[in-house]
Amino acid sequence: MELQRLFNLCFFVSFFLMTTAFEGVRGSSHHRHHHRHHPEEHDDDHQLYGIPPRKLFVFGDSYSDTGNNRKSQAYSWRFPYGITFPGKPAGRFSDGRVLTDYLAKFWGVKSPIPYKWRKYGGKKLENGMNFAHGGTGVFNTLVMDPNMTTQIDLFQNLVNDAVFTGMDLKSSLALVTLAGNDYTSYYVRGGTLEGSQAFIGLVISQLASNLKRIHEMGVKKVVVTALEPVGCLPRSTSRSSFQQCNVTQNNAVNFHNLLLQRAVEKLNNESKDFQFHILDLYSSFTNVLKNKGDYLGNLKFDTPLKPCCIGIKAGYSCGDIDEKGVKMYSICDKPESSFFWDEVHPTQAGWHAVYLALQASLEQI
């Protein structure tokens, strides 16, 4: 059986998931960059259905979260996060802009307001809403924040209350990110290697159900990210002094992405309108890292696997301080020359390079 053979190549999946996935989208309580091309500089607003999309609705984890995590818990609200944009910690897991910001501009809308700040949104609600929470997954994970199903429930409540109308949804887009927190939770809670293949299937099945539900609510186009090459995240590459990716871990990612591809193909066949799309973060990350920058040559990353912000001792990460209030991390001189910001999240420059690598496929959505 094809899937079984692929999974057998990924027997190491438990190691990969336990050591990298949750760090990639965490929202736990412990533990400068300026480039020439910002989202504002992209003038060609992408249009859907012959008109600009009215709103963007976002669901997922820290790769798309722009401020929903609790200030008392998340690294995204600690210095030095946000030092590039907006100049202080603002809830993004980066030094500046993240994937959501770049895709919103591409699709012709402003980055939508986080659900957390909805009561203060006013006219900002015209751009849609971001329900993503760092550290979450399709199931309950290791953080006390809403999983994807609950995020969609929050969305449904707003639709029921007529905050967003059917016409709003009809010409809107949904962005869904999933970067691996479910898998870490599975192993921390006693999951076994023998059961991991079935669990990956459950994750993809639940993800597909979520995508279908968003579409059936009236959002015509639903875009979901493939899993990034976690073997290239600094948390993994630190074992080689940030010199090479972990090939076995990246092979494991391929199993998840294969199932996701098949699930999306099935959704498109069932819906008859082919409105489900995958954003290939695996290929875009890999291409940027291989080329040490974007394909235009405007962004250069001399040591792409090494993070800009890193703990100075074992057990410490970017943003950590000790019991005396002394910072236990260091920051590189030029964040714009680093692809990764911390152990798992790209810098603003990194996300910009990924965005540029995705542009050709974005044009097809």
* Angstrom distances, CA of residue 318 to CA of 56, 124, 149: 30, 31, 30
Compute the C-alpha angle 66/187/264, nearest 5°.
Answer: 55
Which amino acid, 147?
Answer: N
Q: Is 342 a catalytic residue?
A: yes
Which of 35, 46, 61, 62 does the annotation list as catalytic? 62
- Per DSSP, the residues of 14-31 read HHHIIIIIHHHT---S--
Q: Could you count the other beta carbons within 10 Å of the beta carbon of residue 149? A: 15
Rounded Cα gap, residues 259 and 357, in angstroms: 23
Give the bridge partners for 129, in sequence order. Answer: 57, 113
Which of 33, 46, 256, 345 does the annotation list as catalytic? 345
Tokens of 324: 């005396």
Q: Is 62 a catalytic residue?
A: yes
Q: What DSSP character marks residue 343?
A: S
Tokens of 358: 């995705």
Q: Is residue 317 classed exposed, middle or buried when 0-12, 13-18 and 19+ CB atoms within 10 A define those classes?
A: buried
Which of 76, 280, 342, 352 does the annotation list as catalytic? 342
Do residues 332 and 338 make contact, with C-beta atoms less than 8 angstroms apart?
Answer: yes
Rounded Cα gap, residues 220 and 139, in angstroms: 24
Q: Which residues contact 351 (CB under 8 A, 6 or more apart)?
A: 94, 97, 98, 99, 101, 102
Residues noted as catalytic: 62, 342, 345
